[in-house]
Amino acid sequence: MGFYDFTLKDGRGEDFPLEQFRGKVVLVVNTATGCGFTPHYKPMEEMYERFNDKGFEILDVPCNQFAGQTPGTDDEIREFCTLRYNTQFKQMKKSDVNGENELPLYTWLKEQKGFEGFGKGAAAVAMSAMCKMRDKNYKTNPDIKWNFTKFLIDREGSVVARFEPTADMKKVAEAVEELVAK
């Protein structure tokens, strides 16, 4: 299985084959509407507007697995994102990214790029402490740790980077810019 072999359900319940992203750079993100990282929608939309005409897409996968921070329906989530952040990128059906009901896409993504840490700084320390309370082995498993974990896919469908929610969004944009220039 590869990236293009997966099909998700979009926010309206329609099949969304990832094959339609073949040849594009894609950022896959598990999102939440009520999280401290929710403002990541703004730089994500800015990246989308800046690079979409160069073959860049964002795949938004709302997820309610982290402190219940995405409680709404798919329609409510879409409305929140479009009204608050003017998002134009593809939004999927609310789904699990960990556990027995996780999307097969996420099983594959985590096999390609495991958890490598939260980096440095106050947010990284806080995330590490919170994760340690939830899972003492959090550092050694590839599970998604929180909302707004991002996977960057190149034009060949390979996962080239994983960014934890604590990653500087400028670094994410730089990585995207580098890939779309190829």
| Domains recognised in the chain with CATH numbers | 3-180 (3.40.30.10)
Beta bridge partners of 28: 59, 151
User: Model pTM?
Assistant: 0.96
What phi and psi values does residue 115 have, to the nearest 5 degrees?
-70, 130
Residue 35 annotated to the active site: yes
Distance (Å, whole) CA 70 – CA 20: 27
Cα 25–chain centre separation: 13
Q: Residue 173 contacts by C-beta under 8 Å, 6 or more apart in sequence?
A: 43, 46, 47, 50
Given 35, 63, 81, 131, which residue is catalytic?
35
Q: What is the pLDDT of residue 119?
A: 93
Q: Residues 172, 47: contact at Cβ < 8 Å?
A: yes
State the pLDDT at residue 161: 98
pLDDT at 181: 96
Q: What pLDDT score does 171 carry?
A: 97
- Give the dihedral sign, CA 29/46/89/21: negative
Nearest to 97 by CA among 53, 155, 33, 151: 151
**Tens place of pLDDT per residue across the chain (182 aa):** 899 999 999 999 999 999 999 999 999 999 999 999 999 999 999 999 999 999 999 999 999 999 999 999 999 999 999 999 999 999 999 999 999 999 999 999 999 999 999 999 999 999 999 999 988 999 999 999 999 999 999 999 999 999 999 999 999 999 999 999 98
Q: Which helix (H) or strand (E) holds 17?
A: strand 15-17
Write the pLDDT tens digit of every residue in 24-59. 999 999 999 999 999 999 999 999 999 999 999 999
Q: What pLDDT was estimated at residue 125? A: 93
Can you give the pLDDT at residue 117? 94
Q: What confidence score (pLDDT) does residue 59 get? A: 98
pLDDT at residue 169, as a whole number = 96
